[in-house]
């Protein structure tokens, strides 16, 4: 201690002893305590004023919401229930204008930018200029990747690898959150059985269980265990419910869905997604047998919130509230607002309904304030869970540190590889061995943009590896590639045919790369036929006349009608819309470096006239009659069809018991050997059939699947533990679950074991 400090201490001590503190009597002590309490309460009040409970991260979320709600005016509450868009580009002038027009109290914005700058500018306005500083929630359609675009969802399901899909969604979440997006409008888990509907690309195919499993995987991938992590985002199950049943595959059309079908087919993925903790749900556009989903109290409140106890919120689809007018259930926007809100839609996406009318509806007494509070509570809950009050801004870091990271591109590549489906392989046409000249022909060969598919996020054509680029790398030094485009995707111009024929004449094998442009599927992209345009089929017909082996490579956002192309082709490989990294996996399959393992998540009809055709249809009255007179009645490629280069020998399917009681479980097993000449990954699909029950059941229903790698010469056992309450039961038209005594069949390929459930 220095001398002077020492002196200072001495001085303090001297001063304190100068004042004599008298002894207090009991009354004085009591008075003192009261004063102390008042003082401390005052100090506490003072602290609370400085640091409201809602801003105190140490408080429980529900207490923070209570506190914030108690401070909000009706207008502030209503603004939390609206979502607008935030610009479409980051041109400096536009940004300034956009942010100037923005309400600082807005609840959510659809964010189109791929970096955080604009978000942070808008967020600063909310944090600094709004009375309570409530952060904005930023959303974007991240459907199959943000910048690292991976295959469309229909293809992902063909991988039968939900673990990999979870990883891909985690990549999408990381890229999104680090680029300013907190919330994705994904997954789409609408069971879809009509390939004419363009949105068939966005879901996981025709089967309810498959949609449920992949929906859950993607929710887990996006959200992880902690939404406040800087690499996770909130998911949104959409479009609740039945959108996939759009009549005749025409988008936005009404849907005719009985209560039984609603529960049998459409609800399961949503129920499972909610159990998995999906933060939000989007209401649908479709009118379900007379009540638009967006105005359905039954669907949105009785089932979602009351029965399933969802504590997140429902956002309308874009314009779905004001469209209640076109659907004929609301006379004007005000009535539409009232109907949607009372039904259970908490957030208005681009309708101009809640912002203009909700406060008036409350003041007039037609919408209860308690419901507004509940809705705002749900929106705030997500903002708190995302940690937006503590971390409203996104660190602005360079693209190369957050997008297209090599390990993430590897995941996209792996998923593309596992989702490609070998549909036909006559006489081992593939893999290509000892081929000196390969002709690569067709409009998809050099394409990049179309491989991205619909809803490609911030994907760029320049990030995509084309089919041709993949082939060049794979076959460099072993085979010579010859290229001719042959024709465009559509139109009538045959002028390229001659060159294609000349090129083909020089080659040993023809790879014909056909398919759909990316805008031919997705939203508002219905087609009357699943057939490719005539010009593409004609190109194959002409090439066929050369008598050379033809391998069709198909890239599409839907199942295709192949009844004319199939007889002309020796092998067919469906690569879907694989995203940025499809070229190498495709080339690997062609060369035999990769053994294909994808299997269809949706039936390929023989022709469009068979639609709707799907594996799990109900049992019918005369199974041998009622066939088409002019075409076959069976599909060209069934659900779960997919070939491999190796052979798998399925052993005998066995069950641990032939009779079981309620509450007991059953194990069914099937051994499998890889008897071919290559390692491979095989997926076993386990179906259940309930031949007689009080409500007619589908001919079979998928209840479990498993994919395992089996090395050449190795054997593995596939196992399914059946819980009858879960796997043998069925729902009625109200969603009530039943389990009836009687016979059940467990089916793997063409093997069946019968089991009796006894009371």
- Show which residues are catalytic: 317
In order of 269, 419, 473, 600, 610, the CA distances from 640 in angstroms are 19, 12, 31, 5, 18
**Shortest Å, Cβ 319 to ligand NOJ:** 8
| C-beta of residue 431 within 8 angstroms of C-beta of residue 592 | yes
Burial string for 254-272 (b: 16+ CB within 10 Å, else e) reads bbebeebbbbbbbbbbbbb
DSSP structure string for 199-219: GGGGS--S-HHHHHHHHHHHH
Copy the structure tokens of residue 530.
């699943």
Q: What is the distance between the alpha carbons of residues 90 and 117, in angstroms, rounded to a whole number?
A: 9
Nearer to ligand NOJ, 113 or 141 (CB): 141
Nearer to ligand NOJ, 244 or 680 (CB): 244
**Shortest Å, Cβ 715 to ligand NOJ:** 45
Q: What is the distance between the alpha carbons of residues 503 and 548, in angstroms, rounded to a whole number?
A: 12
Nearer to ligand NOJ, 188 or 440 (CB): 188
Nearer to ligand NOJ, 355 or 447 (CB): 355
| C-beta of residue 255 within 8 angstroms of C-beta of residue 214 | no
| Number of residue whose CB is nearest ligand NOJ | 185
**Shortest Å, Cβ 45 to ligand NOJ:** 45
Copy the structure tokens of residue 454.
């619909």
Nearer to ligand NOJ, 141 or 355 (CB): 141
Q: Tell me phi and psi for residue 38, to 5 degrees.
A: -60, -40
**Shortest Å, Cβ 523 to ligand NOJ:** 5
Nearer to ligand NOJ, 94 or 524 (CB): 524
DSSP 47: H
In sequence order, which residues have a C-beta less than 8 Å from that of residue 382 and are 6 or more positions away? 137, 183, 227, 234, 279, 280, 312, 313
3-state secondary structure string across 531-546: CCCHHHHHHHHHHHCC
Q: What is the distance between the alpha carbons of residues 728 and 269, in angstroms, rounded to a whole number?
A: 17
Contact set with ligand NOJ (CB under 6 A): 141, 185, 238, 317-318, 523
Q: What is the distance between the alpha carbons of residues 485 and 474, in angstroms, rounded to a whole number?
A: 20
Q: Write out the H or E segment, with its range, that includes residue 287.
A: strand 287-288
State how far Cα 79 lies from the chain centre.
Answer: 28
Nearer to ligand NOJ, 269 or 585 (CB): 269
Nearer to ligand NOJ, 84 or 263 (CB): 84
**Shortest Å, Cβ 455 to ligand NOJ:** 8
**Shortest Å, Cβ 684 to ligand NOJ:** 33
**Shortest Å, Cβ 186 to ligand NOJ:** 8
In order of 55, 277, 667, the CA distances from 389 in angstroms are 7, 21, 49
**Shortest Å, Cβ 185 to ligand NOJ:** 3
DSSP 7: H
In order of 21, 26, 79, the CA distances from 377 in angstroms are 53, 49, 13
């Amino acid at each position: 201690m220095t001398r002077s400090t020492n002196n200072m201490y001495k001085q303090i001590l001297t001063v304190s002893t100068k004042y004599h503190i008298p002894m207090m009597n009991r009354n004085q002590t009591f008075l003192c305590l009261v004063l102390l309490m008042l003082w401390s309460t005052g100090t506490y009040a003072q602290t609370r004023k400085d640091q409201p409970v809602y801003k105190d991260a140490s408080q429980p979320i529900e207490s923070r919401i209570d506190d914030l709600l108690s401070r909000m005016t009706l207008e502030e509450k209503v603004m939390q229930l609206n979502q607008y868009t935030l610009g479409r580009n980051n041109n400096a002038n536009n940004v300034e204008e956009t942010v100037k027009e923005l309400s600082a109290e807005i609840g959510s914005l659809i964010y189109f930018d791929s970096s955080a700058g604009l978000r942070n500018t808008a967020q600063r306005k909310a944090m600094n200029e709004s009375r309570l500083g409530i952060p904005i929630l930023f959303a974007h359609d991240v459907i199959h990747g943000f910048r690292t675009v991976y295959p469309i969802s229909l293809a992902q399901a063909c991988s039968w690898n939900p673990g990999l899909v979870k990883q891909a969604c985690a990549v999408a979440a990381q890229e999104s959150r680090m680029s300013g997006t907190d919330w994705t409008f994904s997954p789409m888990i609408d069971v879809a059985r009509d390939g004419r509907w363009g949105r068939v690309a966005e879901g996981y195919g025709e089967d309810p269980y498959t949609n449920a499993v992949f929906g859950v995987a993607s929710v887990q991938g996006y959200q992880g265990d902690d939404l406040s992590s800087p690499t996770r985002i909130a998911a949104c199950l959409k479009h609740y419910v039945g959108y996939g049943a759009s009549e005749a595959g025409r988008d936005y059309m009404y849907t005719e869905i009985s209560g039984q079908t609603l529960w049998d087919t459409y609800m399961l993925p949503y129920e499972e997604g909610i159990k998995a903790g999906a933060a939000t749900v989007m209401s649908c556009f479709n009118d379900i047998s007379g009540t638009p989903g967006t105005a359905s109290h039954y669907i949105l409140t009785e089932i979602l919130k009351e029965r399933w106890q969802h504590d997140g919120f429902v956002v309308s689809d874009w314009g779905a509230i004001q469209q209640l007018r076109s659907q004929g259930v609301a006379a004007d926007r005000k009535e539409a607002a009232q109907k949607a809100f009372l039904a259970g839609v908490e957030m208005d996406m681009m309708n101009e309904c809640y912002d203009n009318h909700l406060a008036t509806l409350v003041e007039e007494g037609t919408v209860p304030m308690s419901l507004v509070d509940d809705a705002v509570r749900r929106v705030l809950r997500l903002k708190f869970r995302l940690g937006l009050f503590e971390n409203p801004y996104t660190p602005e870091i360079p693209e190369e540190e957050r997008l297209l990271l090599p390990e993430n591109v590897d995941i996209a590549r792996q998923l593309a590889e596992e989702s490609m489906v070998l549909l036909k392989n006559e006489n081992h046409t593939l893999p290509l061995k000892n081929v000196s000249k390969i002709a690569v022909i067709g409009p998809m060969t050099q394409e990049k943009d179309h491989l991205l598919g619909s809803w490609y996020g911030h994907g760029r054509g320049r990030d995509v590896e084309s089919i041709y680029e993949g082939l060049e790398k794979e076959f460099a030094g072993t085979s010579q590639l010859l290229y001719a485009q042959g024709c465009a995707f559509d139109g009538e111009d045959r002028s390229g045919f001659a060159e294609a024929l000349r090129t083909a004449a020089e080659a040993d094998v023809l790879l014909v790369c056909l398919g759909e442009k990316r805008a031919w599927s997705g939203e508002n992209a219905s087609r009357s036929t699943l057939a490719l345009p005539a010009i593409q089929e004609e190109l194959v017909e002409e090439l066929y006349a050369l008598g050379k082996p033809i391998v069709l490579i198909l890239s599409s956002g839907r199942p295709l009608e192949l009844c004319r192309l199939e007889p002309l082709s020796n092998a067919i490989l469906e690569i879907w819309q694989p995203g940025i990294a499809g070229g190498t996996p495709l080339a690997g399959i062609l060369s035999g470096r990769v053994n294909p393992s994808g299997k269809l998540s949706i039936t390929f009809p023989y022709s469009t006239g068979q639609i709707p055709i799907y594996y799990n249809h109900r049992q019918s009255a005369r199974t041998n009659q009622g066939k088409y007179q002019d075409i076959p009645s069976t599909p060209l490629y069934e659900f779960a069809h997919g070939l491999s280069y190796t052979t798998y020998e399925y052993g005998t399917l066995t069950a641990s018991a032939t009779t079981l009681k309620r509450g007991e479980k059953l194990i069914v097993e099937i051994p499998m050997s890889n008897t071919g000449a290559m390692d491979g990954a095989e997926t076993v699909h386990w179906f259940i059939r309930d031949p007689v029950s009080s409500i007619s059941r589908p001919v079979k229903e998928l209840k479990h699947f498993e994919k395992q790698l089996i090395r050449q010469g190795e054997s593995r056992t596939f196992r399914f533990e059946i819980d009858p309450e879960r796997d043998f039961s069925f729902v009625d038209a109200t969603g009530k679950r039943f389990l009836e005594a009687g016979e059940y069949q467990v089916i793997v390929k063409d093997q069946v074991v019968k089991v009796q459930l006894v009371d």
